[in-house]
Amino acid sequence: MTTLATALAASDMLLIDGLHAFDFTFDATGLAIECMDGRQLRRWHFTPEQVAAAQGAGEDWCLQDAEGEHRLVCMSALRAPEDDDEQEHLDEPADR
């Protein structure tokens, strides 16, 4: 069974209440998220107990705090594949 903690460990980016958040930390103190909403800095903090009580599966989760329910989507950022061809050229001896 996947837990939110497991999903967070594999995530590079979150979508919280429809806002993209690259700046988040998940550790023993809980889940802290920051992102810009226009010119306003938005912050959320969820305790370890709130993270453990999250409902959902895979990438989609619902978290509860004093403000109410929040929808959280765990995402992995797209990365370009390593350019192995370039490394091969660096390893070859130069022509003289």
DSSP the chain: ---HHHHHHT-SEEEETTEEE-EEEEETTEEEEEEEETTEEEEEEE-HHHHHT-EEETTEEEEEETTEEEEEEEE----PPP-HHHHHHHHSPPP-
Q: Residue-wise pLDDT tens for the chain (96 aa)? A: 679 999 998 899 999 999 999 999 999 999 999 999 999 999 999 999 999 999 998 789 999 999 999 999 999 866 556 555 555 555 555 555
| Confidence at residue 34, expressed as pLDDT on a 0 to 100 scale | 96
What does pTM read for this prediction? 0.75
pLDDT single digits (tens) 11-23: 999 999 999 999 9
> In the chain, what are the domains?
4-91 (2.30.29.190)
